[in-house]
Amino acid sequence: MKQKLLGKTFLWLFFALPLLGFSQGTVSGNITDSSYGGPLAGVNVVVKGTSRGAVSDFDGNYSINVNSFPATLVFTSLGYETKELTVEGPTTLNVSMAESATGLDEVIVTGLGTSIKRSNLANAVATVSNQELVGTTAQSTLDGALYGKLTGVNITSSSGAPGGGFALRLRGISSINGNNQPLYIVDGVYVNNAEIPSGLRFASGANRGNEENSANRIADLDPNDIQNIEVLKGASAAAIYGTRANAGVVIITTKRGSQGKTEVKFSQDTGFNTIIKRLGLRPWTAQSVEDTFGAAEVTLYNQAIANGGLFDYEDIIYGETGLITDTRISASGGDEKTKFYVGASYRNEEGIIKNTGFDRFSLRANVDHKISNTFNFSASSNYVRSSSSRSFTGNENEGGLSYGYTLAFTRPWIDLFPDETGTYPDNPNYSGNPIFVRDLAKNEDKNNRFIQGIKLEANVLNTGDDAVKLIFNGGADFLANETFVYVPETHQAQRGNQNGFIGVGKNNFTNFNYQGIAVWNHNAMGGDLALTSQGGISYLEQQADLIFNQSTQLIPDQTNLSQGSAQAITQNTSVVKEFGYFAQVEGNYQDQLIATVGYRFDKSTLNGNPNKYYGFPKASLAVNLHNFDFWSDGALQRLKLRAAYGETGSSAAFGSAFTGLNQVSIGGVGGSSISALKGDPNVEPETSSEFEIGFDAGLFNKVNLEVSYYNRNVSDLLLSRVLPTSTGFGSETTNLADLKNYGVEVGITVNPVQEENFFWTSNINWWFNRSEITRLDVPPFPQPGAGFGLGLGTFYIEEGKPVTQLAGNVNGVPTQIGNVEPDFQMGFFNNFTIAKQFDVSFLLQWKKGGDNINLSKLLTDLGGTTPDLDTPEAQERTSLGFVAERFVEPAGYLRLREAAVYYRLPSSALAFFGDTVTGVKLGVSGRNIFTITDYSSYDPETSTNGGAGLSSGIEVTPFPSTKQFYFHLNVNF
């Protein structure tokens, strides 16, 4: 029986195949925006029911091979309504697509193995497309590129140095000592975003590694490789990620190939960096010199004036114009079985301080292959080599290295340039000469990184009403980081003391993770109810081995570790393993009611009990009122009500459970001394539970509105509390408090003008967050590592107060003196397409409220160099003495974050190149073009304590932020 059936099939195929051959052909045409008729680039065209696809070019032209007619072509593009058209044979098919302002058809990942259309989503998941991320201006790092583009996101910059130093906070502070940075997942790989200290603190005297202003390693990802970013901001959306998701999840999908003609793209950005603003010189007069430094100093001042004027060291150190180039080439394409995207890019960015810079070489190969109807796999490979030279900025203690410190004390009549023999004079005003440091000292890092993701899918069952798919995905992220710090023995703070410093770090990180998921799609109630169920396991392992080698008492001019007579090595290793189960069921009743319930169990070696499972539930409901029969179309075209609840966790940092003894020595004999950290052997993860409600509405065909309110409670907050030091311990990380965050997020997209020659899209994001510590089991305390004590101002953990409060001693009583939380933030993005060929866009970001503690000013006040010291305001300030309130400043701002003008060459102009060139786009753009702020230092976005934990709003002599301008050239072949 079976044999006969097969035989018949073959017979049938024998006849049918030639026929199929006859009906093959190409459909091509032009895709335009229906509103104004301009060309639409990047539209995906797929033959329905196959994986055959193509993408439209800059001029909206596409061409696709169709195997069998009649066929249905599906046209999709982010932000446009999907269109399906049937073709009967090879033809020219011009398509006009209508804008769908909210991207309702966009697909959002909500489970680990499943996704859902945005229109059915019950959470406010923010997505950023490649166009939004890098379409306006060139971006150095992907986190820095997100400024102002998402609601509920706060970005802190700890350094303006090339190569980043950012921290993302999603919906406020979710953790104080646990992980406060979101989980980054790139093509299924949990990637490393460590901020790796270089050990320069052993030369500069900075207190901790987080004061070294290192970059965070998400900087290794080329933002141009990214197709799409999804940001799961809170527990209600991210619950299925369990104990890694307390601070949110950033899911990054890189570009992939599609079937069709191989497309080659070349783009070149060339630009420059300059300091964001100059603080300037104090307007010195002989009188003010005498009043400040005494009569003897006036002689030096007069000498300098006579010899050609004062030295503006701010300009000398920070005043360089850094050249930026970014070159990219990529090819993508594929056939029915195999699709590929390969790309290479090289970015080179010079800083505004001589000898600083960042470069990144990135290679990517993404391959999708269909093995059979059952099996298919995808592989995503990315090799990155990046390096940076960040020189010396930020906090220090008498190292004579950090520029901001040196400049605060250096008087502008002192000549610090080398003499004709190349000898740098000592700085008579401070322990270091900034010109010496700039020219001769080094703080560099190199990273070799390989990120490999893999996904294997098996469609094990597919009947009409049931489909079962097994998915295995995972990957590895290997990072070899090397740091190098060198301070020559001739530096004035080294001579006679350390006599030169070399610090070499060799740091290896291996992260790998995998998931096994089974997904079952079932149609019930005659197709009215679609059920998507999934269950699976997840495993994660993170290994780190950080070795720091230090050599001092150097042989002159030598930069080799062995050329010093005093050497020290420190090593820190860690292995973290986590394992979890998860399951989720989603039901969709006719796109009217969409409900999801899910649960995840996780255990982690970071918890006191490594084999105890912690559970994280989630549930959500979306109601699409406009899909019900009673809905009648009016001004309000769409209305979706949604509610979601979820829980996530965060485990304590590695080592929190251990009480150990540190290595010390005296008299050539080694020994053990108690470590400052008292371990808690019962430490548990902190748990966040979030409830979110909101609605999405579409009005007048022009306006889309998305409003969400969330309330998140973090219970058993992990706190590194200060212990009475008479115990011999300094701190303990344990579960001590509860924290509440709540806020509102509003997103509005409007298309005010949709004329043929003028098309305007406007997007407003507005949000705020408030926090409160609702339980604290210990007396209030200054957060260790987040400030400089109550004397100068610090974050202060206190029940009933916001977690972001700044406190200082006022008359001996710890008192709130500020709050880094803004009143609200707003992003205002506008895009104009004029006469079909010009694109003009800009992004304004407004941060209203929020305070900083500006301790750079403390230093310049102390050094007598603050530009405003001769004004009455400054005299009032200095009369306060060095108290914390004096340095609190409003840190709100309005900034033109990005702006650009692009011009697309019309097809007629391209004809000049013949067939080879299919699109050319030229443009100019800028980043951080202007800022209006009352803040008196370089940038209100600042953090002297890096990106982790409670860090933002405290400034100590950062690497100044920059503004950047670019010229862009994009060519498609």
Partner 1 sequence: MKIIQKYYSIGGLALLVFFGAFISACSFDEQVDPNRPSLAGVLTDASQNQLNNLVVGVESAMRNSLPIQTTASGTMARELYLFDADPRNTGDLLGGNGSNLDNNSFYSTAPWGGRYVSIKNANILLQSLDNTTSVTDTQKAGYRGFAKTVIAYELIEVLKMYNRARIDVADPDNLGPILEFDAALTAVRALLDEALSDLNGAGSEFAFPLAGFDGFDTPSTFAQFNRATAAVAAVYAGDGGAALTALSNSYFDLNGDLNIGPKHIFSLDSGDQTNGLFKIPDNNGDQIIVHDSFIADAEAGDTRVSSKTLIRANPTTQDDLSGAYQTALYASNISPIDMCRNEELILVYAEANILTNDLSEAENALNVIRNSAGLADLPLPIVPYTAEELTTELLNQRRYSLWCENHRMFDLRRYNLSNTLPIDRAGDQIFNIMPTPLSENE
**Of residues 660-689, those binding partner 1 (CB under 8 A):** 660-676, 678
CA angle centred on 522, ends 516 and 527, rounded to 5°: 155
Q: Is the Cβ of residue 344 or residue 723 nearer to partner 1 in the bound state?
A: 723
Q: Is the Cβ of residue 260 or residue 535 nearer to partner 1 in the bound state?
A: 535
CA angle centred on 131, ends 128 and 136, rounded to 5°: 110
Closest by CA to 242, choosing from 542, 718, 604, is 604
Residues 450-479 interacting with partner 1 (rule: CB under 8 A)? 458-461, 468, 470, 472
Cα of first residue to Cα of last residue in the chain, in angstroms, is 55
* Interface stretch with partner 1, choices 64-72, 149-157, 658-666, 840-848 (CB under 8 A): 658-666
Spatial separation of the C-alpha atoms in residues 654 and 554, rounded to whole Å: 35
Rounded to a whole number of angstroms, the minimum distance from the CB of residue 308 to partner 1 is 23
Q: Does 700 bind partner 1 (CB under 8 A)?
A: no
* Interface stretch with partner 1, choices 86-94, 159-167, 265-273, 791-799 (CB under 8 A): 791-799
The residue within the footprint of partner 1, chosen from 575, 909, 911, 932 (CB under 8 A), is: 575
Residues 474-513 interacting with partner 1 (rule: CB under 8 A)? 492-493, 495-497
Q: Is the Cβ of residue 103 or residue 564 nearer to partner 1 in the bound state?
A: 564
Q: Does 763 bind partner 1 (CB under 8 A)?
A: no
Rounded to a whole number of angstroms, the minimum distance from the CB of residue 300 to partner 1 is 10
β-bridge mates for residue 602, sequence order: 580, 614
Contact assessment for residue 470 and residue 460, using Cβ atoms and an 8 Å cutoff: yes
The residue within the footprint of partner 1, chosen from 376, 559, 659, 837 (CB under 8 A), is: 659
Establish whether the linkage from the previous residue to 70 is cis, with ω within 30° of 0. Answer: yes
Rounded to a whole number of angstroms, the minimum distance from the CB of residue 961 to partner 1 is 23
Q: How many CB atoms lie within 10 A of CB 166?
A: 27
SS3 601: strand
The residue within the footprint of partner 1, chosen from 782, 926, 940, 958 (CB under 8 A), is: 782
Q: How many CA atoms within 13 Å lie on the side-chain side of 71?
A: 28
Q: What b/e string do you get for 67-78 counting C-beta neighbours within 10 Å, with b at 16 or more?
A: ebbebebebbbb
Spatial separation of the C-alpha atoms in residues 114 and 93, rounded to whole Å: 33
Q: Does 879 bind partner 1 (CB under 8 A)?
A: yes
Q: Is the Cβ of residue 256 or residue 370 nearer to partner 1 in the bound state?
A: 370
Q: Does 880 bind partner 1 (CB under 8 A)?
A: yes
Alpha-carbon distance values, 705 to 179, 288, 363, 633, 645 (Å) = 32, 58, 39, 17, 21
Q: Is the Cβ of residue 11 or residue 911 nearer to partner 1 in the bound state?
A: 11
Spatial separation of the C-alpha atoms in residues 933 and 963, rounded to whole Å: 15
Alpha-carbon distance values, 473 to 253, 455, 821 (Å) = 14, 4, 39
Write down the residue that tokens 């939004």 correspond to.
132
Q: Is the Cβ of residue 9 or residue 321 nearer to partner 1 in the bound state?
A: 9
Q: Is the Cβ of residue 47 or residue 487 nearer to partner 1 in the bound state?
A: 487
Alpha-carbon distance values, 198 to 392, 486, 578, 663, 732 (Å) = 11, 11, 28, 21, 25
Q: Does 398 bind partner 1 (CB under 8 A)?
A: yes
Task: Pull the structure tokens for residue 366.
Answer: 């993404």
What track of x and - describes contact with partner 1 for positions 854 through 873 (by CB under 8 A)? Answer: ----xx-xx-----------
Q: Is the Cβ of residue 48 or residue 208 nearer to partner 1 in the bound state?
A: 208
Q: Does 729 bind partner 1 (CB under 8 A)?
A: yes
Q: Does 558 bind partner 1 (CB under 8 A)?
A: no
Q: Does 302 bind partner 1 (CB under 8 A)?
A: no
Where are the alpha helices (H) located in 467-584, listed in sequence order?
none
SS3 967: strand
Closest by CA to 860, choosing from 895, 820, 887, is 887
CA angle centred on 270, ends 267 and 276, rounded to 5°: 135
The residue within the footprint of partner 1, chosen from 296, 872, 908, 916 (CB under 8 A), is: 296
Residues 367-396 interacting with partner 1 (rule: CB under 8 A)? 374-375, 396
Spatial separation of the C-alpha atoms in residues 658 and 651, rounded to whole Å: 14
Write down the residue that tokens 């906070």 correspond to.
169
The residue within the footprint of partner 1, chosen from 577, 702, 801, 848 (CB under 8 A), is: 577
Contact assessment for residue 337 and residue 257, using Cβ atoms and an 8 Å cutoff: no
Q: What b/e string do you get for 909-919 counting C-beta neighbours within 10 Å, with b at 16 or more?
A: ebeeeeeebbb
* Interface stretch with partner 1, choices 19-27, 109-117, 444-452, 724-732 (CB under 8 A): 724-732
The residue within the footprint of partner 1, chosen from 286, 597, 883, 917 (CB under 8 A), is: 883
Rounded to a whole number of angstroms, the minimum distance from the CB of residue 728 to partner 1 is 2
Closest by CA to 932, choosing from 972, 906, 897, is 897
Residues 401-430 interacting with partner 1 (rule: CB under 8 A)? 405, 408-409, 426-430
Rounded to a whole number of angstroms, the minimum distance from the CB of residue 948 to partner 1 is 19
What's the alpha-carbon Rg for the chain, to the nearest Å?
30
The residue within the footprint of partner 1, chosen from 18, 308, 526, 724 (CB under 8 A), is: 724
Q: Does 294 bind partner 1 (CB under 8 A)?
A: yes
Q: Is the Cβ of residue 537 or residue 597 nearer to partner 1 in the bound state?
A: 537
CA angle centred on 718, ends 713 and 722, rounded to 5°: 130
Q: How many CB atoms lie within 10 A of CB 500?
A: 26
* Interface stretch with partner 1, choices 36-44, 138-146, 718-726, 921-929 (CB under 8 A): 718-726
What track of x and - describes contact with partner 1 for positions 590 through 619 (by CB under 8 A)? Answer: -------------x-x----xx--------
Q: Is the Cβ of residue 25 or residue 780 nearer to partner 1 in the bound state?
A: 780
Q: Is the Cβ of residue 568 or residue 909 nearer to partner 1 in the bound state?
A: 568
Query: What phi and psi, each to the nearest 5 degrees, are found at residue 493?
Result: -85, -5
Alpha-carbon distance values, 555 to 204, 431, 551 (Å) = 20, 22, 10
The residue within the footprint of partner 1, chosen from 193, 213, 809, 918 (CB under 8 A), is: 809
Spatial separation of the C-alpha atoms in residues 709 and 883, rounded to whole Å: 38
The residue within the footprint of partner 1, chosen from 431, 866, 918, 964 (CB under 8 A), is: 431
Rounded to a whole number of angstroms, the minimum distance from the CB of residue 883 to partner 1 is 6
Q: Does 281 bind partner 1 (CB under 8 A)?
A: no
Q: How many CB atoms lie within 10 A of CB 373?
A: 8
Q: Is the Cβ of residue 413 or residue 430 nearer to partner 1 in the bound state?
A: 430
* Interface stretch with partner 1, choices 236-244, 304-312, 352-360, 781-789 (CB under 8 A): 781-789
* Interface stretch with partner 1, choices 127-135, 397-405, 639-647, 702-710 (CB under 8 A): 397-405
- DSSP symbol at 178: S
Rounded to a whole number of angstroms, the minimum distance from the CB of residue 43 to partner 1 is 34
The residue within the footprint of partner 1, chosen from 311, 579, 768, 824 (CB under 8 A), is: 579
